[in-house]
Structure 1
Amino acid sequence: MPHHRLIALLLTAGLASAQAVSPVRLSLMVSLVERVTVDGKATEVLKANPGNVLPGSELSQVVTVRNTAAKTLLNVPVTLPLPKSTVYLAPEPGVSAVAAHTEFSANGGKTFAPAPLKKKVTVTENGKAVQKDVEVRPSEYTSVRWVISELRINEPLKLGYRVQVR
């Protein structure tokens, strides 16, 4: 897939699956992360809605969640799939979701668990096949899900992560 179309895919894929919960409105902001030096200090500049990204580019994805219902909602799941042309890097710095529990999936969103994820692999030891639990690398994550314990009426909550374009 051409990388200039990645942004459109991020917006449609992420928001389509995340807005499955009706009274919850989501707004996704995708920004290109650039590292620059200002007055001798290294800093980051976020360029919103970049028109073109190249392999190796780092993107910030921040979703603003808002409850439009007439009451506080409890245990609200918000799921964003990671596009196949990116790899998960880390949570978005400065966006803390104290009211949300973060989980990850490495199987296309079939199952979720807190990091670090584990998977079973078969290895040969002393001529025998044995099952072992190994840690899943964050680059293997396919989806991120936050479960918001309490989402108050019309109060925005920001959630986010960083990805790198393959």
Structure 2
Amino acid sequence: MTELFEQFDCDTQHRMQAIFSSIFVLQNRMQTAGEKLQTEISMKQWLLLAMTECCPEPRTLTNIGNLMGCSRQNVKKLALALEKKGFVHLLLSSNNSVLVQPTEEVQRYAEEIGERHMKALSLLFSDFSEEEIGQLFSLYSKLYVGLERIESYVEELD
């Protein structure tokens, strides 16, 4: 990855391309490392559980999918796998949407794997000061705003 950043550190356009590409590389590498860190569920299943915790009521497949940035169908596939493992219950609501309800198994798993997750986060951000973490958080917020502009642009193309 160092070579990519050195090669593309010549002007703003190339830097933007390197950042864009590196987001996908980071995602792939973090998923691979994460699935070695925790073997009971996949990283995408873990993300679904994490987003379910953050999701305001009702915790439907659609609402969780919106938080995760993926389709209702993808969330359903992940949720069905988690249901088989005892991590969630899928319930049909009165308006025919599917609700995701975490079970006590999530708490057990969080307690079991929590120390590993905290160590992994510590290792990932060990070269950052608190100020830099705040800056990165702010910059990521700006990436999401830019992504929303791309999504609007794509909708206009249709």
Give the structure-2-normalised TM-score.
0.26
Q: Greater strand share, 1 or 2? A: 1
Comparing both structures, which one devotes a greater share of its residues to helix?
2
